[in-house]
């Protein structure tokens, strides 16, 4: 009797193992057969929401299944990101990742409910997003060189606005302060929009902003562009030097957009998602749209995204340590 029971247990275990072995490829053949959810950890209408909807629309067209963007906000992005990490790893929940969720929060939050590396499967790096450093017209600053000279001559006279403590705009300011060896006071706001308004009104003197939302203000003369944060000049601002050309060649910090899935997502599904996103990112239609947003199309492999994420975690860790930024 005991031997029969042991045989039954062995057969059951073998069946489970065989199902696991064959389930991945079989699931990938029919995947997706229902709608996919893409989580955006920030409010609707913001920059990350724009990126999420653009990617979701392209995926919907390629996969012939709806890809729906769901905004789960709060905790500076940690609530939505944690919900994606806890989702079933079946390819039907994806996460739009940006530096704030996957490279900055891990360093500024002491109680983050997820691990950006262990809890996620990388799918693809979608794009790198260029920023521009702008100054208030009333500041009298018209170049990066002038800013550095004045800030050194008047150590307590200059400040910079940011989209909030621990945001990319905050840490870019800290990197500028460190590399240029100047004293700049950080003034956090609730988003890039309010920060830009403060610079236009002269309440703050400087701001690092994504190029797209700053473009109209630059063309209207409401802010002065000092340098773009990119390796080469932006087609949107061809007369504005890169920050390297303007005098800080070691300033290597850009924003980015990537897609992740929960850890444990089957490899065949990961491969299918990666192939889909790469096709979308490299299509002429999307490449042109990215250019309008001041972004560079990438479309990486999952392995390349994993390597890139580890590099970004190291980089932002050093900058956070320098700034002393804390979310709690």
229 or 22: which carries more pLDDT confidence? 229
In this predicted structure, the answer to whether residue 9 has a pLDDT above a threshold of 80 is no
Which residue, chain included where needed, has tokens 């042991």?
6
Tell me the percentage of the chain whose pLDDT exceeds 90: 71
The phi and psi torsions of 28 (rounded to 5 degrees) equal -65, -30
Q: What mean pLDDT is predicted for residues 188-196?
A: 89
Domain ranges of the chain: 34-128+255-323, 131-229
Region 131-229: CATH code: 3.40.190.10
- What local confidence, expressed as pLDDT, does residue 18 receive? 46
Is there a common fold for 34-128+255-323 and 131-229?
Answer: yes
Tens of pLDDT, residue by residue over 169-184, are 999 999 999 899 999 9
Q: Is 113 exposed, middle or buried (0-12, 13-18, 19+ CB in 10 A)?
A: middle
Strand 159-162 and strand 185-188: the pairing is parallel
Q: What percent of the chain has pLDDT over 70?
A: 91
What architecture (CATH level 2) is domain 34-128+255-323?
A: 3-Layer(aba) Sandwich (3.40)
- Per-residue model confidence (pLDDT) at position 98: 95
Nearest Cα residue to 137 out of 206, 192, 215: 206
pLDDT, tens digit, 9 for 90 and up, residues 87-132: 999 999 999 999 999 999 999 988 899 999 999 999 999 999 989 9
User: What pLDDT was estimated at residue 19?
Assistant: 47
Please choose, from the candidates 279, 273, 277, 235, the residue with its C-alpha nearest in 3D space to the C-alpha of residue 257: 277
Dist CA 4 CA 11 (whole Å): 11
Least confident of 42-46, 53-57, 156-160, 322-326: 322-326
Whether 12 shows a pLDDT value over 60: the answer reads no
What value does the mean pLDDT take over residues 297-306? 97
Q: Over 80: is that where the pLDDT of 190 sits?
A: yes
The mean-pLDDT minimum among 19-23, 139-143, 220-224 falls in 19-23
Predicted confidence (pLDDT) at residue 15 exceeds the cutoff of 50:
no
* Chain segment 202-230, per-residue pLDDT in tens: 999 999 999 988 999 999 999 999 999 98
For the chain, the 3-state helix, strand and coil shares in percent, each to the nearest 5, are 50, 20, 35
């Amino acid at each position: 009797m005991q031997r029969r029971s042991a045989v039954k247990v062995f057969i059951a275990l073998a069946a489970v193992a065989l199902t696991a072995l064959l389930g991945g490829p079989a699931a990938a053949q029919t995947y997706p057969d229902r709608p996919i959810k893409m989580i955006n950890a920030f409010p609707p209408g913001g920059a990350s929401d724009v990126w999420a909807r653009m990617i979701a629309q392209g995926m919907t067209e390629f996969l012939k299944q709806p890809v729906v963007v769901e905004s789960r906000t709060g905790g500076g992005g940690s609530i939505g990101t944690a919900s994606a990490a806890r989702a079933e790893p079946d390819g039907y929940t994806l996460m739009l990742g940006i530096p704030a969720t996957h490279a900055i929060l891990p360093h500024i939050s002491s109680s983050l409910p997820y691990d950006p590396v262990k809890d996620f499967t990388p799918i693809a790096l979608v794009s790198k997003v260029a920023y521009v450093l702008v100054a208030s017209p009333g500041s009298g600053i018209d170049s990066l060189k002038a800013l550095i000279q004045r800030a050194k001559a008047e150590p307590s006279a200059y400040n910079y606005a940011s989209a909030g403590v621990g945001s990319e705009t905050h840490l870019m300011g800290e990197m500028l302060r460190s590399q240029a060896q100047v004293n700049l006071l950080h003034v956090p706001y609730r988003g890039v929009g309010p920060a830009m308004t403060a610079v236009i009104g002269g309440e703050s003197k400087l701001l690092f902003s994504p190029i797209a939302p700053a473009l109209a203000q630059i063309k209207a003369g409401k802010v002065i562009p000092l340098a773009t944060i990119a390796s080469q000049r932006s087609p949107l601002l061809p007369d504005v030097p890169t920050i390297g050309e303007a005098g800080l060649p070691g300033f290597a910090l850009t924003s980015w957009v990537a897609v992740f899935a929960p850890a444990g997502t089957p490899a065949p599904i990961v491969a299918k998602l990666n192939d889909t996103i790469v096709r979308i990112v490299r299509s002429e239609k999307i490449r042109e749209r990215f250019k309008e947003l001041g972004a560079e199309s990438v479309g990486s492999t999952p392995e390349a995204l994993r390597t890139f994420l580890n590099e970004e975690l190291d980089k932002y860790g050093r900058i956070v340590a320098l700034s002393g930024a804390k979310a709690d």
